[in-house]
């Protein structure tokens, strides 16, 4: 049986198969990282065939699944059957569509995502966003980063954890390369990801799991951080018979 699909610094992953499917490629690679039978089929053609990922070669199967993903992310309906805004495929992948795709099979079961705009942030704020991202991005819970120039977002990369604490990597789908994503480059808008340098939008994990999904989780639920130093007012309410609450991160 083939080894599980992994990406590390210097890895060569699959490449996007059309000029407008960088987001679809990121979602496909994210699914390959958490779904071993899916990755074995796409990479090696082993196991049960996956509907929507047909083809005789890895590139054909990857391209087929990109089209399957793009039909979902850019369509009129959400995975839950609700209505959303359709998006022209020539304009790539909309953030809300990529959010739905990450929550429905391209991350660990129960992982939730939110959209965060980072375009107009100061360097100090971008540093804080980057550090928060190092806490949120773990194995099976990647983020997507929209990058571009000063005018528009033009490309999407997948943000995954590195092997060292606080290290982030970026899977860049136009080349298939896995590159370091450093705090300095992020905060100073000097990224070099597919030729684009300015961070625009993050599709990032919330750090909490969806309860009551009806699906088994593949990792323990995250426990909110407790405030170790209750305020004097909270202590006073507790002594008066109230409850001492804790705050989550």
3 state SS of 143: strand
Percent helix, strand, coil in the chain (nearest 5)? 30, 20, 50
pLDDT of residue 85: 66
- In the chain, domain spans: 22-210+219-239
Structure tokens at 137: 């991005």
CB contact at 8 A, 99 and 203? yes
pLDDT of residue 218: 38
Write the pLDDT tens digit of every residue in 53-97: 999 999 999 999 999 999 999 875 655 656 566 655 666 799 999
* Nearest in space to 119 (alpha carbons), one of 144, 159, 146: 146
Residue 233 pLDDT class (50, 70, 90 cuts): very low
Write the pLDDT tens digit of every residue in 16-41: 999 999 999 999 999 999 999 999 99
d(CA 190, CA 182): 10
CA atoms within 13 A on the CB side of 65: 29
For residue 195, the tally of other CB atoms under 10 A from its CB is 14
Write the pLDDT tens digit of every residue in 90-122: 667 999 999 999 999 999 999 999 999 999 999
For residue 97, the tally of other CB atoms under 10 A from its CB is 26
Give CA separation, 130 vs 134, 166, 169, 200, in Å: 6, 10, 12, 13
* Nearest in space to 99 (alpha carbons), one of 202, 11, 207: 202
Write down the residue that tokens 């699909």 correspond to. 5
Average pLDDT score over the chain: 83
Q: Is the CATH number of domain 22-210+219-239 3.90.70?
A: yes
pLDDT: which is higher, 23 or 4: 23
Interior CA angle at 32 toward 47 and 101, to 5°? 120
Residue 213 pLDDT class (50, 70, 90 cuts): very low
Residue ranges of alpha helices (H) inside 12-57 are 22-34, 36-44
Residues 6+ apart with CB under 8 A from 165: none
């Amino acid at each position: 049986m083939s080894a599980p699909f992994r990406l590390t610094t210097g890895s060569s992953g699959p490449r996007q198969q059309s000029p407008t499917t960088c987001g679809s490629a990121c979602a496909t690679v994210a699914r390959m990282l958490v779904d071993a039978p899916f990755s074995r089929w796409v990479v090696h053609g082993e196991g049960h065939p996956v509907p929507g990922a047909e083809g005789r070669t890895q590139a054909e199967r990857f391209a087929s699944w990109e089209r399957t993903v793009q039909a979902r992310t850019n369509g009129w309906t959400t995975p839950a059957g609700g209505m959303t805004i359709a998006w022209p495929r020539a304009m790539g992948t909309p953030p809300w569509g990529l959010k739905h795709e990450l929550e429905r099979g391209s991350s660990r079961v129960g992982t939730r995502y939110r959209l965060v705009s980072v375009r107009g942030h100061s360097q100090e704020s971008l540093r804080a966003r980057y550090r928060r991202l190092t806490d949120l991005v773990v194995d099976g819970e990647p983020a997507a980063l929209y990058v571009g120039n000063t005018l528009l977002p033009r490309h999407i990369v997948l943000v995954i954890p590195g092997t060292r604490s606080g290290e982030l990597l970026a899977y860049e789908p136009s080349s298939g390369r896995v590159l370091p994503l450093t705090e300095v480059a992020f905060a100073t808008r000097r990224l070099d990801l597919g030729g684009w340098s300015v961070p625009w939008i993050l599709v990032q994990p919330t750090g909490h799991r969806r309860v009551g999904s009806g699906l088994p989780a593949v990792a323990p639920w995250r426990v909110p951080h407790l405030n170790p130093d209750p305020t004097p007012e909270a202590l006073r309410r507790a002594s008066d018979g109230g409850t001492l609450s804790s705050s989550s991160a």
